[in-house]
Amino acid sequence: MTSRRRSSESSASATADANSFSPRRRSVVKAAAATAVLAAPLAAALPARAATAQAPAFLHGVASGDPLPDGALLWTRVTPTPEAIPGSGLGPDTEVGWAVARDKAFSTVVAKGSTRATAATDHTVKADVRGLAPATDYWFRFSAGGTDSPVGRTRTAPAADAAVTGLRFGVVSCSNWEAGHFSSYRHLAARGDLDAWLHLGDYIYEYGSGEYGTRGRTVRPQAPAHEIVTLADYRVRHATYKTDPDLQALHAKAPVVAIWDDHEIANDAWSGGAENHTEGAEGTWAARQAAAKQAYFEWMPVRPALAGTTYRRLRFGRLADLSLLDLRSFRSQQVSPGNGEVDDPDRTLTGRAQLDWLKSGLSASDTAWRLVGTSVMISPLAIGSLPASLLKPIAKLLGLPQEGLALNTDQWDGYTDDRRELLAHLRTNAIRNTVFLAGDIHMAWANDVPVNAGTYPASGSAATEFVVTSVTSDNLDDIVKVPEGTVSAVASPLVKATNRHVHWVDTDRHGYGVLDITSERAQMDYYVVSSRTDPGATSTWARSYRTLNGTQRVERADRPV
DSSP result, 403-451: T--S--TTSGGG-HHHHHHHHHHHHHTT---EEEEE-SSSSEEEEEEES
Task: Say which CATH superfamily domain 46-155 falls into.
Answer: Purple acid phosphatase-like, N-terminal (2.60.40.380)
Angle, alpha carbons 398-402-404 (nearest 5°): 85
10 Å Cβ neighbour count for 445? 26
Q: pTM value? A: 0.88
Residue pLDDT tens, the chain, 561 long: 333 333 333 333 333 333 333 333 233 333 333 333 344 444 433 343 333 447 899 999 999 999 999 999 999 999 999 999 999 999 999 999 999 999 999 999 999 999 999 999 999 999 999 999 999 999 999 999 999 999 999 999 999 999 999 999 999 999 999 999 999 999 999 999 999 999 999 999 999 999 986 556 799 999 999 999 999 999 999 999 999 999 999 999 999 999 999 999 999 999 999 999 999 999 999 999 999 999 999 999 999 888 789 999 999 999 999 999 999 999 999 998 766 688 899 999 999 999 999 999 999 999 999 999 999 999 998 876 555 556 556 656 655 544 334 468 899 999 999 999 999 999 999 999 999 999 999 999 999 999 988 889 999 999 999 999 999 999 887 887 777 777 788 888 888 888 999 999 999 999 999 999 999 999 999 999 999 999 999 999 999 999 999 999 999 999 999
Q: Please give the C-alpha separations between residue 472 and each of 172, 176, 533, in angstroms, as whole numbers.
A: 10, 6, 8
What DSSP character marks residue 117?
Answer: E
Distance CA 116, CA 39 (A): 24
Give CATH for domain 167-557.
Answer: 3.60.21.70
The reply to whether domains 46-155 and 167-557 share a CATH topology is no
Locate all alpha helices (DSSP H) within 177-255, ordered by sequence.
183-191, 231-241, 245-251
Q: How far apart are CA 522 and CA 548, in angstroms?
A: 7
DSSP-derived secondary structure letter, 163: -
- Please report, for the chain, the start and end positions of each structural domain, with discontinuous segments joined by +: 46-155, 167-557
Peptide bond into 393 cis (omega under 30): no
